[in-house]
Structure 1
Amino acid sequence: MTADDLHRSVEAVWRVESTRLIAALVRITRDVGLAEDLAQDALEAALAQWPESGVPDNPGAWLMSVAKRRAIDMFRRRERQDRAYGEIGERKEDVVAGIESSIDHVEDDVLRLMFICCHPVLSSDVQITLTLRLLAGLTTKEIARSFLTSEATIGARITRAKKALAEVGAPMEEPAEDERGTRLAAVLGVLYLLFNEGYSATAGDDWLRPALCDEAVRLGRILATLAPREPEAHGLLALMEIQSSRAAARTDSDGAPVLLLEQDRSRWDQLLIRRGLAALERAESLGRPPGPYVLQAGIAACHARAHTAEETDWARIAQLYESLAILSGSAVVELNRAVALAMSEGPAVGLALADQLMGIPALEGYHLLPSVRGDLLARLGRTDEARVEFERAAGLTQNQREKALLLERAAAMPD
Structure 2
Amino acid sequence: MFKPHRPRSHPRGVGGTLARRGPYFAAPEDAVQDALVEAVRVWPADPPRDPKGWLVTVAWRRFLDASRSDASRRRREDLVREEPAPGPASGADDTLRLYFLCAHPSLTPSSAVALTLRAVGGLTTRQIAQAYLVPEATMAQRISRAKRTVSGVRFDRPGDVATVLRVLYLVFNEGYSGDVDLAAEAIRLTRQLASAIDHPEVAGLLALMLLHHARRASRTGPGGALVPLAEQDRSRWDTRTIAEGVGILQAALARDRLGEFQAQAAVAALHADAPTAGETDWVQIVEWYDELLRLTDSPVVRLNRAVAVGEADGARAGLAALAELDGSLPRHTAVAAYLHERDGDPATAARLYAEAARQAPTLAERDHLTRQAARLNTLLRGGGPGGP
* Structure 1 residue 113 corresponds to structure 2 residue 98: yes
Q: CA deviation at 1:388?
A: 2.0
Cα shift readout 1:360-409 (whole Å, capped 9, x = no counterpart): 6xx2xx1x111111111112222222122112221122311111111010
Match of 1:369 in 2: 332
> In structure 1, what is the Cα distance between the partners aligned to 2:327 and 2:375?
27
Aligned equivalents of 1:209, 1:344: Cα separation in 2: 41
User: What are the superposed Cα offsets for residues 265-293 of structure 1, whole Å, 9 maximum, x if unpaired?
Assistant: 111101110110111022112232x1100
Contact 1:197 1:209 in 2 (8 A): no
Asked whether the equivalents of residues 394 and 406 of structure 1 are also in contact (C-alpha less than 8 Å), the reply is yes
Please give the secondary structure, in 1, of the residue aligned with 2:308.
helix
For 2:123, the equivalent position in structure 1 comes to 138
Correspondence for 1:122 among 107, 132, 150: 107
Residue number among 177, 195, 202 corresponding to 2:172 in the alignment:
195
1:170 aligns with 2:153: yes
Does the CA contact (< 8 Å) of 1:198 and 1:210 recur in 2? no
Give, in whole Å, the separation in 1 of the partners of 2:134 and 2:316. 42
Tell me the equivalent position of 1:10: none
Aligned to 1:40: none
Higher helix content, 1 or 2? 1
Q: Is the 8 A contact 1:347 1:376 kept in 2?
A: yes
Match of 1:287 in 2: 256
Question: Counterpart of 2:343 in structure 1: which amino acid?
Answer: L
Secondary structure of 1:138's aligned partner: coil
Q: CA deviation at 1:157?
A: 1.1
Moved more, 134-143 or 257-266: 134-143
Q: Unaligned 5+ residue runs, structure 2?
A: 1-79, 381-388
- Which of 155, 168, 180 is the matching residue for 2:140? 155
After superposition, give the CA deviation of every residue in 1:41-98 in whole Å (9 maximum; x if it has no partner): xxxxxxxxxxxxxxxxxxxxxxxxxxxxxxxxxxxxxxxxxxx9xx56xx6xxxxxxx
Q: Mapping of 1:4-403 within 5 angstroms?
A: 87=86, 105-166=90-151, 169-171=152-154, 173=155, 176=157, 179-180=158-159, 183-198=160-175, 211-228=181-198, 230-288=199-257, 290-359=258-327, 363=329, 366=330, 368-403=331-366
* Partner SS state of residue 254, structure 1: helix
Unmatched 5+ residue regions in structure 1? 1-26, 32-83, 92-101, 200-205
**CA contact 1:241–1:273 (8 Å) conserved in 2:** yes
The one-letter amino acid of 2:332's match is: L
1:322-353 Cα distance to aligned partner (Å, 9 max, x none): 11112111111001001111111111111111
For the 8 Å contact 2:130–2:179, the answer to whether it is kept is no
Show the counterpart of 1:408. 371
Shift of 1:209: 9.6
2-structure distance, mates of 1:147, 1:300: 27
SS at 2:181's partner residue? helix
Asked if the contact 2:131–2:180 (Cα under 8 Å) also holds between the matched residues in 1, the reply is no
Judging changes above 3 Å, is the alpha-carbon distance between structure 1 residues 209 and 278 closer, same or farther for their aligned structure 2 residues? farther
Secondary structure of the 2:223 match is coil
Change (3 A) 1:321 1:408: same
The alignment partner of 1:398 has SS state of: coil
Assess, with a 3 A threshold, how the Cα gap between structure 1 residues 400 and 248 changes in structure 2: closer, same or farther: same
Q: Distance in 2 between matches of 1:110 and 1:285?
A: 28
Per the TM alignment, residue 210 of structure 1 is displaced from its structure 2 partner at its CA by: 7.7
Distance 1:147 1:259 in 2: 25
Q: Distance in 2 between matches of 1:388 and 1:146?
A: 35
1:138, CA displacement in angstroms?
1.9
**Cα distance between partner residues in 2 of 1:112 and 1:390:** 47
The whole-number CA distance in structure 1 between the counterparts of 2:201 and 2:326 is 31
1:221 alignment partner AA: R
Distance in structure 1 (CA, Å) of the matches to 2:361 and 2:134: 14
TM-aligned CA deviation for residue 140 of structure 1 = 2.0
> 3-state DSSP class of the match of 2:350?
helix
RMSD: 2.2
Superposition TM-score, scaled by structure 2 size: 0.72
Alignment-mate amino acid for residue 108 of structure 2: S
Q: Which amino acid aligns with 2:306?
A: A
CA distance in 2, matches of 1:255, 1:193: 22
- The amino acid across from 1:170 in the alignment is V
Percent identical residues: 42
Alignment deviations for residues 215-260 of structure 1 (CA, whole Å, 9 cap, x no partner) = 11111111111112x1100000000001100011111132211110
Q: Distance in 2 between matches of 1:122 and 1:322?
A: 32
Cα distance between partner residues in 2 of 1:265 and 1:210: 26
